[in-house]
């Protein structure tokens, strides 16, 4: 109970800080919505190998959710840099609260905001004509939660290590941009040369994109779903373990 109380207090503090300046919540959704409104219609007459007559929105929108997790949640570590500069971390040092509860309180803020953004993006896509499988969408949001937990944890760990927004942005862009291009977010990798398809198989987010598309389209028995969940669970555990170790040293 003490652990949950401490986590709730840190989560409440983080949410209040975000709600005082909600512009970043809107900006995190702005780019994916532009992709949805301005890029998705260009795919209407494009026949994609392996998808038959599936709507382009059913292929494009699930990829956007993964892209949003990589960039919107991936830059959550900026909050750490600000807290270090403003002295928040120094004040946390003197509290007896669990370091894991503190970290989870901050990470869960970013996950909750991301899930709200996901719901809004799915709603907009449905208004544009995307059809979804109800059970698949529920599993999709579970998968997005795992990705968000992993990305937020890794971003916080990097934020504590680098302590500078410029260095953090450079490091994140260096890693996330190639991963996004190799994940088939905008177009299925079935359209790519074989060498790129082989490289993409070694990246975790390509499996997440494949699983997201299968879930939206109701293909619940697709093998990519099991693979994506297995990979993301392992990465989430590793990311949270790394972030916890770094965070404990920062507020020891």
Poorest-pLDDT segment among 66-80, 144-158, 223-237: 66-80
Q: Does residue 252 register a pLDDT over 60?
A: no
pLDDT: is 236 or 71 the higher one?
Answer: 236
Query: For residue range 105-120, what is the model confidence (pLDDT) as tens digits?
Result: 888 888 998 998 899 9
Q: Compute the average pLDDT of residues 61-81.
A: 86
Q: What pLDDT, on a 0 to 100 scale, did the predictor assign at position 152?
A: 92
Q: What is the pLDDT at residue 233?
A: 96
User: Mind listing the pLDDT tens digit for each residue in 125-157?
Assistant: 999 888 899 999 999 999 999 999 999 999 999
pLDDT at 52: 60
pLDDT at 58: 85
The CA-based angle 202-200-52, given to 5 degrees, is 130
pLDDT, position 216: 92
- With bands split at pLDDT 50, 70 and 90, how would you rate the model's confidence at 99? confident
Confidence at 80, pLDDT banded by 50, 70, 90: confident
Neighbour count for residue 6 (Cβ, 10 Å): 20
What pLDDT, on the 0 to 100 scale, is given for residue 53? 65
Other beta carbons less than 10 A from residue 164's beta carbon: 13
Which tokens belong to 41?
């219609």
Question: Confidence class of residue 47 from pLDDT cuts 50, 70 and 90?
Answer: low
Residue 137 pLDDT: 93
pLDDT at residue 38 is higher than 90 = no
d(CA 87, CA 97): 17
**Would you say 63 and 206 are in contact if contact means Cβ atoms under 8 Å apart?**
no
Q: What percent of the chain has a predicted confidence (pLDDT) above 70?
A: 92
CA distance 238 to 87: 28
Mean pLDDT of 33-59: 75
Residue 177 pLDDT greater than 60, yes or no: yes
pTM, whole model, 2 decimals?
0.88
User: What's the whole-number mean pLDDT along residues 215-230?
Assistant: 92
Concatenated DSSP letters of the chain? -HHHHHHHHHHHHHHHHHHHSTHHHHHHHHHHHHIIIIIGGGGTTPPPTT-TT--HHHHHHHHHHHHHIIIIITTTTHHHHHHHHHTHHHHHHT--S-HHHHHHHHHHHHHHHHHHHHHHHHHHHHHTT----HHHHHHHHHHHHHHHHHHHHHHHHHHHHH--HHHHHHHHHHHHHHHHHTTTSSS-GGGS-HHHHHHHTTSHHHHHHHHHHHHHTT-TT-HHHHHHHHHHHHHHHHHHHHHHHHHHHHT-
Taking the C-alpha atoms of residue 82 and residue 187, their distance in angstroms, rounded to an integer, is: 36
CA 151/CA 76 separation, integer angstroms: 8
Mean pLDDT over each residue of the chain, to the nearest integer: 84
Residue 102: what pLDDT? 82
For the chain, which residues make up each domain, given as ranges? 2-38+53-250
């Amino acid at each position: 109970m003490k652990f949950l109380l401490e986590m709730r207090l840190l989560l409440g503090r983080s949410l209040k800080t975000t709600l005082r300046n909600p512009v970043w919540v809107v900006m995190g959704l702005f780019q994916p919505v532009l992709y949805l409104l301005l890029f998705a219609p260009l795919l209407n007459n494009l026949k994609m190998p392996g998808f038959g007559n599936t709507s382009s929105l059913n292929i494009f929108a699930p990829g956007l959710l993964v892209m949003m997790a990589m960039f919107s949640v991936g830059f959550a570590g900026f909050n750490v840099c600000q807290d270090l500069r403003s002295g928040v971390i120094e004040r946390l040092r003197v509290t007896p609260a669990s370091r894991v509860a503190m970290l989870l309180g901050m990470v869960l803020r970013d996950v909750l905001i991301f899930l709200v953004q996901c719901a809004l993006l799915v709603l907009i896509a449905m208004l544009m004509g995307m059809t979804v499988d109800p059970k698949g969408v529920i599993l999709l949001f579970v998968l997005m939660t795992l990705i968000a937990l992993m990305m937020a944890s890794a971003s916080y760990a990097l934020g504590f290590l680098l302590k500078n927004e410029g260095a953090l942005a450079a490091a994140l862009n260096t890693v996330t941009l190639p991963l996004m291009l190799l994940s088939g977010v905008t177009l299925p990798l079935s359209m790519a040369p074989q060498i790129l398809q082989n490289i993409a198989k070694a990246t975790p987010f390509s499996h997440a994109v494949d699983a997201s598309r299968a879930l939206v389209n109701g293909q619940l028995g697709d093998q990519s779903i099991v693979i994506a969940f297995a990979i993301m669970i392992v990465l989430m555990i590793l990311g949270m373990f790394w972030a916890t170790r770094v965070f404990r040293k920062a507020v020891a």
